[in-house]
Amino acid sequence: MSWQIVPRVLGGRLQSAEAGPSKRVMQAMVQMTRFDIETGQRACEQG
């Protein structure tokens, strides 16, 4: 069994009403060994 604790700020970004930001955050998170909040936020803010 494998699991990961997701920081609230990234979890909130994943549940965004807009599909674009949440998709970018998910793509960034999949590449991470450990969650990097700053990278996740930057991915969300890219347009």
pLDDT of residue 38: 86
pLDDT of residue 1: 61
Torsional sign, CA 18, 20, 21, 27: positive
- pLDDT-based confidence at residue 21 (cuts at 50, 70, 90): confident
- pLDDT-based confidence at residue 24 (cuts at 50, 70, 90): confident
Range of the domain at 34: 8-45
Is residue 2 situated within a structural domain?
A: no
pTM to 2 decimals?
0.58
Q: Give the dihedral of Cα atoms 41, 19, 24, 22; nearest 10 deg.
A: 40
Query: How many domains, the chain?
Result: 1
Write the CA distances from 20 to 3, 11, 38, integer angstroms: 25, 15, 18
Is residue 1 situated within a structural domain?
A: no
Tokens for 39, please give them.
């990278």
Q: Is the pLDDT of residue 42 over 70?
A: yes
